Amino acid sequence: MTETVLETDGLTKRFGKLTAVDDVSLSVADGEFRSVIGPNGAGKTTTFNLITGALSPSEGAVRFKGEDITNVAPHERVGRGLGRSFQITNVFGGLTVRENVRLAAQSVYSDEINPGEALFRDKNGFDEIAEQTRTVLEQIGLRDRADEHAEALAYGDQRRLELGLVLATDPALVMLDEPTAGMSSEETQATMNLIDEVLSDRSLMLIEHDIDLVMRVSDRITVLTRGEELASGTPEEIANNEDVRDAYLGGVRE
Amino acid sequence: MVAADFIEQLLNGLTLGMVYVLLAAGLSVIFGVMDVINFSHGELFALGAYFSLSIIAPFGAGTGFWIAIVVAPVAVGLIGAAIERTTVRPLYGRDPLYHILLTFGLVLVTNDVIRLIWGTQQRQLAVPEYLSQPVSILGVQVSVYNYFMIVFAALLAVVTWYLLNRTKYGMIIRAGSQDREMVRNVGIDIDQYYTLVFGVGAALAAVAGIVLGGYQNVNTGMGNSVIIPAFVVVVLGGLGSFRGAVFGGLLVGVVQTLMRAYSGSVLATFGDTTLTVPNLEGLTVYLLMIAVLLVKPQGLFGTRGEESDGEGEILVGGYGGVLADSTRVRLGGIAVVALALAPIAILFMGDQYYLVVLNEILIWAIFALSLDIVMGYAGLVPLGHTMFYGVGAYTAALIMLHYSQSVFIVLLGAILICAVLAWVVGSLSIRVSGVYFAMITLAFAELLYSAVFKFDFTGGSDGLLGFEALLGLGTVGESLSNIEFGLLGYELGQQFVFYYLALLIAVLSFLFARRMMNAPFGSVLQSIRESEERAEFIGYDVNRYKRRAFVISGGMAGLAGGLLAVSPSTVIISPDQTLNWIHSGEVIVIALFGGMGTLYGPMIGSGVFFGAEEFLSSYTDQWRLIIGTMFILFVLFVPRGIVSIPSLVAQRLETANNADGAVDMDEPDVRSDD
Ligand SMILES: Nc1ncnc2c1ncn2[C@@H]1O[C@H](COP(=O)(O)OP(=O)(O)OP(=O)(O)O)[C@@H](O)[C@H]1O
Ligand SMILES: [Mg+2]
């Protein structure tokens, strides 16, 4: 029996009258590849926001590596190994690609940097950070474009940089919100390969609209509709689930 | 008679409150709909009063007043609409910072036009005789004019409310303030309505100006004196909320008036203990504002979330590839050498006054540099930065008067006290973001400004004088003003010694800041400016970084203030010279003008600003008009500041070579992150 890395307990978020996430209790095992699917507005991103701390839940709790993190600040969660990407690309547009990745890598080491160094030592003079930056740039295939400003990159490249920012923080659980949104099918394939390859030794939560792809790559799948958890299970279980077929696969699928 | 007296004060308070309501209604709706922080609102208010002066003159007070109260607001409304069309419109969607710069320029221009046309002496606005009679109702005696003001302003407020809430135009405007895009999507040209809103807001301000002008008097400082209370009202009530403006206006008017009347008086006596009203006149409204912002950042009636929309972008300056790094370093070196040699040239010219100007430039270069650390790098816009400059100056003067005259101890003291102050203010303010952060720092600055008038140890409104710095440690050392030595037969004095001290400190401050920005700490600040959310989600405690940046910046601004006090040409440290909100505006303008986010840009900005002021004021009295116009042109055409000019020029040349194709002046692609 593998350990549980993430658990949510009755997670609920209300925006005024709308209940965007309704009593969701998930459990993600260590090393698991978990996909979250559901129609637009089902509450997938909101669930991610609750787990990562971007929003605080109306009710319920989040446990990460056995500790209750419901009231822990977002940056602190990142420090404990919870990394995330955004559905809408969110990179440091005015900084170079290298600096983007370097900043994420620096955050991992910031405990080891003393105040004097933090204020006065050249940011490029830290060997471990530079090493980590190089590795990640290599992984996401942006080494040749490292000196360009992030905002000057093509859309697909920006999505990969978004992924790189998560990788560089060296997370135990990686939460990716539609990393392939808006990509061509080749780009999607390349990105999925990248995800498979570099994240194979970590736990992963993925929001994704492409059902075929999800069926292929996931260990388990959670289906959300109108904020509620409709079903969770292996790809076969989900594919054979009556409720899911009625509510989602047969119906509103785009 | 105590009760009658109280009611009289209450009426006075309501009268003043009504003026605030008229002012704040326009200000608040303009912000709510267009996200524009309009500093020039106070000058439009003054313009209303001045127009009335000219209209009343030929007709006499009897009929002239009534003509004026209709015609002047219409005229000011048209001017407001014209201002919106020509200058504000191109800036929609930019960070509110640019509106500050723009409307600050408008303040200078309008104020100078008023001086030019109507002169600088205080004038009396004639009101019909039957309005200025005192009347006594139920034993309460005030002038008829009070009742007139209250009723007339209330009527206007009701009409405005009706227009906003019960007409089609009002509905569209309110919908637009909720969601601009949605209104555009249903095919309504919301931009047309902006002009209308701006014009009506200006007209309301003009009415307020006329009404208050008749109550008190008309002077060139009247706009400046109401704009900050008006902002307090808007923030208290909730940015964009009309109801909030009405409630906040009355509240501030009444609280201000009552505190003025009753500060220090006995409330009640219980046996031996007497309960007195604390002597907090002038402080109360700011304390109120800070309290409200901390508890309910969106104001009492505000509905917007505390997060700023984040649609605007702060444009940092930079050469962006046109000049190589090495060229830039060389240019910097040349500038320092030139500055080091400048006194020799001045010596031969024989006019030491230029040295005084250079000293001022250096002090403000450090001040503007300190602002750049928080504004250009961490993306925080403090509207009260002069509090550190002022407190630094006061601290330095007090240390010299009471403890030590050593320059080094004095400056160190100023830095430390301001760093502590910045930590306190920062801890409280950084929890709110965007415009609310700007406003809460403004409130703190105004609080300190009002406070120095209250205390003996700060010298009240006279300020502090009689201090002197020694160049040395402890009590040994040479008095700065005694140092005189000769060189080649020329007399060299205190100004020279101070100049080199200031130059050294300015260069060291720059090197310190540059080092910091190239180190891990500074790099995180830049990431926060780019995307606060992203910085948080790669693991940085954003608030802690902001607070530290604020402390460093506050300490450096305190150093600039301390230098001001130490300077031999400073005889007196007064509230207006150091703590007036105008200086907070000026330093933002200087930083933007030079080019934010570059460190050297704001320092260059200081040089150009004070150089231009000095140069222009020796030729013309209308130098404010010229500088104001310059700001307006800059914010419209060179938003990244002076330092972006080389790349703008290069871009021009390139497009000229490539034949046709217009240059996108607003968004030149010249960012750099050194
Ligand atoms: N901050 C917010 N305030 C109010 N309502 C919100 C907020 N965030 C999300 N919602 C609402 O909550 C519901 C769930 O939104 P969410 O973004 O979680 O959906 P999603 O499953 O990620 O959809 P998509 O596939 O389109 O990304 C939606 O109806 C959305 O409008
Ligand atoms: Mg989503």
The rounded Cα A113 to chain-centroid distance in angstroms is 27
Give the 3-state DSSP-derived string for B330-393, with helices as H, strands as E and coil as C: HHHHHHHHHHHHHHHHHHHHCCCHHHHHHHHHHHHHHHHHHHHHHHHHCCCCCCCCHHHHHHHH
Stretch A176-203: mean pLDDT: 84
Would you call B540 and A54 a contact, using CB atoms and an 8 Å cutoff? no
- Chain A residues whose beta carbon lies within 8 Å of the beta carbon of residue B519: 117-123
Q: Say yes or no: CB of residue A83 within 6 Å of ligand 1.
A: no
pLDDT for res B492: 54
Higher pLDDT, A133 or A241: A133
Question: What tokens were used for A104?
Answer: 């994420």
Residue A176 and residue A165 share a domain: no
Contacts of B557 (CB under 8 A, 6+ apart): B366, B367, B370, B371, B385, B388, B389, B392, B418
Top residue of A95, A147, A163 to mutate, by most chain B CBs within 10 Å, is A95
Which of A76, A78, A123 has the CB atom closest to B538's CB atom?
A78
- What pLDDT sits at residue A55? 92
Could you tell me which residues come within 8 angstroms of residue B580 by beta carbon, excluding any fewer than 6 positions away? B386, B449
- Ordered by where they begin, the domains of chain B are 2-266+278-295 (1.10.3470), 358-574 (no CATH)
Per-residue pLDDT tens over the stretch B168-205: 888 888 777 777 677 777 777 777 888 888 999 999 99
Rank B94-103, B133-142, B568-577 by mean pLDDT and report only the highest: B568-577
Distance A42 CA to ligand 1 centre (A): 7
Predicted pLDDT at B613: 87
Using a CB–CB cutoff of 8 Å, tell me whether B542 touches chain A: yes
Asked if B640 and B315 count as a contact pair (C-beta separation under 8 A), the reply is yes
Q: Which of A186-190, B66-70, B97-101, B346-350 has the lowest mean pLDDT?
A: B346-350
Task: Find the residue in A nearest to B541 (Cα).
Answer: A75
Instruction: From B411, B528, B504, select the one nearest B419 (Cα to Cα).
Output: B411
Checking if the pLDDT of B517 tops 80, the result is yes
Residue B637's SS3 state is helix
Residue carrying structure tokens 């693991």? B539
The segment with the largest mean pLDDT, out of A51-55, B403-407, B430-434, is A51-55
Degrees, nearest 5: CA angle B173-B174-B178: 115
**Secondary structure letter of residue B321 according to DSSP:** T
**Mean pLDDT score, B582-591:** 88
What is the residue type of B422?
A
Asked if B523 and A117 come within 8 Å (Cβ–Cβ), the reply is no
Scan residues 405-464 of B and list those with Cβ closer than 8 Å to A.
none
Span B469-493, average pLDDT: 55
B178 touches chain A (CB under 8 A): no
Contact B663, B655 (CB under 8 A): yes
B475 within 8 A of B405, measured Cβ to Cβ: yes
Question: What mean pLDDT is predicted for residues B612-638?
Answer: 85
Least reliable range by pLDDT among A92-106, B44-58, B214-228: B214-228
Confidence check: pLDDT of B672 > 60: no
| Ligand 2 centroid – CA A171 distance (Å) | 21
Kindly report the average pLDDT of chain B as a whole number.
82
Nearest to A205 by CA among A9, A25, A84, A35: A35
Residues A254 and A181 in one domain: yes
Q: Are residues A185 and A195 in the same domain?
A: yes
Of A86, A91, A99, the CB nearest to B673: A99
Measured in Å, how far apart are chain A's first and last C-alpha atoms?
Answer: 37
- Tokens standing for residue B516: 């910091």
Taking the CA of A44 as reference, the closest ligand is 1
**A56 close to ligand 1 (CB < 6 Angstrom):** no
* A165/A175 same-domain check: no
- How close B578 gets to chain A, by Cα (Å)? 30
The stretch B412-422 carries a mean pLDDT of 96
Residue in chain A lying closest to B318 (CA)? A94
Q: Give per-residue burial for B47-75: e unless 16+ CB within 10 Å, then b.
A: bbbbbbbebbeeeebeebbeebbeebbeb
pLDDT at residue B306 in the model:
37
Chain-centroid distance, C-alpha B108: 12
Structural contact between residues A104 and A115, judged by C-beta atoms closer than 8 angstroms: no
d(CA B414, CA B396): 6
Tell me what percent of the residues of chain A surpass a pLDDT of 90: 52
- The domain total for chain A is 2
Can you tell me which residue has the tokens 């790559």?
A217
Which range of residues forms the domain containing residue A176? 1-81+171-254
Q: Is the model's pLDDT at B571 over the cut of 90?
A: no
The region, left, alpha or beta by phi > 0 then psi within -120 to 50, assigned to residue B330 is alpha
Question: For residue B661, what pLDDT is reported?
Answer: 44
* The last residue of a domain, from among A169, A198, A233: A169
Nearest protein CA to atom 24 of ligand 1, as residue: A40
The closest of B200, B182, B180 to B191, measured between CA atoms, is B180
Over range B602-623, report the average pLDDT.
Answer: 87
**The pLDDT of residue B645:** 81
CA distance linking residue B485 with residue B475, whole number of Å = 21
Residue A125 sits in the same domain as residue A1: no
Work out the pLDDT band at B354, boundaries 50, 70, 90. confident
Q: Which of B398, B388, B458, B447 is nearest to B423 (CA)?
A: B388
More confident residue, B275 or B83: B83
Q: Please indicate whether, in this complex, the C-beta atoms of A165 and B540 are within 8 angstroms of each other.
A: no
- The number of the ligand nearest the C-alpha atom of A41 reads 1
Find, in chain B, the residue whose alpha carbon is nearest to that of A76: B539
Residue B453 and residue B461 in contact, taking contact as beta carbons nearer than 8 Å: yes
Q: Cα(A30)–Cα(A45) distance, rounded to whole angstroms?
A: 22
3-state SS string over chain A? CCCEEEEEEEEEEEECCEEEEEEECCEEECCCEEEEECCCCCCHHHHHHHHHCCCCCCEEEEEECCEECCCCCHHHHHHCCEEECCCCCCCCCCCEHHHHHHHHHHHHHCCCCCHHHHHHCCHHHCHHHHHHHHHHHHHCCCHHHCCCEHHHCCHHHHHHHHHHHHHHCCCCEEEEECCCCCCCHHHHHHHHHHHHHHCCCCEEEEECCCHHHHHHHCCEEEEEECCEEEEEECHHHHHHCHHHHHHHHHHHCC
Distant-in-sequence contacts of B191-196, Cβ < 8 A, 24+ apart: B191/B89, B193/B33, B193/B169, B194/B33, B194/B34, B194/B84, B194/B88, B194/B89, B194/B92, B195/B81, B195/B84, B195/B85, B196/B81, B196/B169
Helix (H, G, I), strand (E, B) or coil at B143: strand
Whether A93 and B519 lie within 8 Å, measured CB to CB: no
Tell me which residues have their CB within 5 A of the ion that is ligand 2.
A 44-45, 87
Rounded to whole angstroms, the Cα distance separating B89 from B574 reads 39
Sorted by sequence, the CB contacts under 8 Å of residue A175 that are 6+ apart come out as A48, A51, A52, A82, A83, A84, A85, A204, A205, A206
User: Quick check: A158 and A88 in contact, CB under 8 A?
Assistant: no
Q: Between residues 205 and 244 of chain A, which touch chain B (CB distance below 8 Å)?
A: none
pLDDT digits (tens, 9 = 90+) for B308-346: 444 455 566 543 445 667 777 888 888 888 888 887 777
Mean pLDDT within A98-120: 90
- Spatial contact of B532 and B542, defined as CB atoms under 8 Å apart: yes
Residue A111 and residue B31: Cα distance in Å, rounded?
42
Tell me the average pLDDT across B541-556. Answer: 95
Give the pLDDT score at A112: 83
Above pLDDT 70, what percent of chain B?
Answer: 87
pLDDT tens profile A132-184 = 999 999 988 899 999 999 989 988 889 889 999 999 998 999 999 998 888 88
Q: A203-227 burial, b for 16+ CB within 10 Å, e for fewer?
A: bbbbbbbbbebbbebbebbbbbbbb
ipTM: 0.91
Q: What is the dihedral of CA A36, A38, A40, A43, to 10 degrees?
A: -60
Mean model confidence pLDDT for chain A: 88
What's the pLDDT at B460?
A: 78
Say if ligand 1 is within 6 A of residue A46 CB: yes
Do B263 and B284 touch, CB atoms closer than 8 A?
no
The β-bridge relationship of strands A82-84 and A173-177 is parallel
- Closest chain B residue to A115 measured between Cα atoms? B521
Distance from CA of B589 to the nearest CA of A (A): 23
Q: What is the pTM of this model?
A: 0.86
Ligand 1 atom closest to A44 (CA): 21
Domain boundary among A116, A140, A169: A169
Chain B hits for A95, Cβ within 8 Å: 526-527, 530, 673
Determine the atom of ligand 1 nearest the C-alpha atom of A16.
4
Name the minimum distance, in Å, from the CA of B225 to any CA of chain A.
Answer: 40
Contacts of B634 (CB under 8 A, 6+ apart): B101, B592, B593, B641
Residue A85 pLDDT exceeds 60: yes
User: Which pLDDT score is estimated for A92?
Assistant: 93
CB contact under 8 A, B520 and A118: yes
Which residue is associated with the tokens 């990248």?
A: A194
Residues A232, A212, single domain; the answer is yes
Please provide the size of chain A in residues.
254
User: CB distance from B523 to chain A under 8 Å?
Assistant: yes
> Mutation test of ligand 1: which of A45, A180, A253 has the most ligand atoms closer than 8 Å to its C-beta?
A45
Q: Does B476 touch chain A (CB under 8 A)?
A: no
Q: For position B671, what pLDDT does the model report?
A: 37
pLDDT greater at residue B472 or residue B555 = B555
Q: Do residues A208 and A251 share a domain?
A: yes
A144 and A209 belong to one structural domain: no
CB within 8 Å of A1: residues ≥ 6 apart: none
A252 touches chain B (CB under 8 A): no
Least distant ligand from the CA of A209: 1
The pLDDT value given to residue B658: 67
pLDDT at B493: 66
Last residue of a domain, one of A146, A169, A192: A169
- pLDDT for res B311: 43
Judge contact between A140 and A163, C-beta under 8 A.
yes
Which of B372, B415, B373, B379 has the alpha carbon at shortest distance from B395?
Answer: B415
- Choice between B406 and B249, residue whose per-residue pLDDT is larger: B249
Residue A13 CA: nearest ligand 1 atom is 12
How, if at all, do strands A203-207 and A33-37 pair? parallel
Contact of A90 with A61, CB cutoff 8 Å: no
Integer angstrom CA distances of residue B404 from B85, B303, B473, B535: 56, 52, 9, 44
Same-domain pairing of A141 and A246? no
Strand A203-207, strand B572-573: pairing: unpaired
Quick check: helix, strand or coil at residue B504? helix
Q: Which band of pLDDT confidence, cut at 50, 70 and 90, is reported for residue B268?
A: low
Q: How far from the centroid of its chain's Cα atoms is residue B159's Cα?
A: 31
Q: Please tell me whether residues A27 and A152 are part of one structural domain.
A: no
Question: Is the pLDDT score of B229 beyond 60?
Answer: yes
Residue nearest to ligand 1 atom 26, measured at CA: A40
Instruction: Please give the pLDDT value at position A243.
Output: 82
Instruction: Report pLDDT for A65.
Output: 92
Distance CA B464, CA B527 (A): 42
User: CA B19: distance to chain centroid?
Assistant: 21
Do residue A75 and residue A50 come from a single domain?
Answer: yes
Cα torsion B32, B35, B36, B37: sign:
positive
Q: Rounded to an integer, what distance in angstroms lies between the CA atom of residue B522 and that of residue B512?
A: 11
User: Domain with A8 in it: what CATH number?
Assistant: 3.40.50.300
**B398 confidence band (pLDDT: 50, 70, 90):** very high
The reply to whether A102 and A205 lie within a common domain is: no
CA B54 to chain centre: 30
Q: Show the tokens assigned to A160.
A: 């990969």
Q: What pLDDT is stored for residue A105 in this prediction?
A: 94
DSSP string, B278-293: -S-TTTHHHHHHHHHH
B303 to chain A, any CB pair closer than 8 A? The answer is: no
Amino acid identity of B186?
V
Substitution target from B311, B516, B534, B547 for chain A, most A beta carbons within 10 A: B534
B491 φ, ψ (degrees, to nearest 5): -80, 120
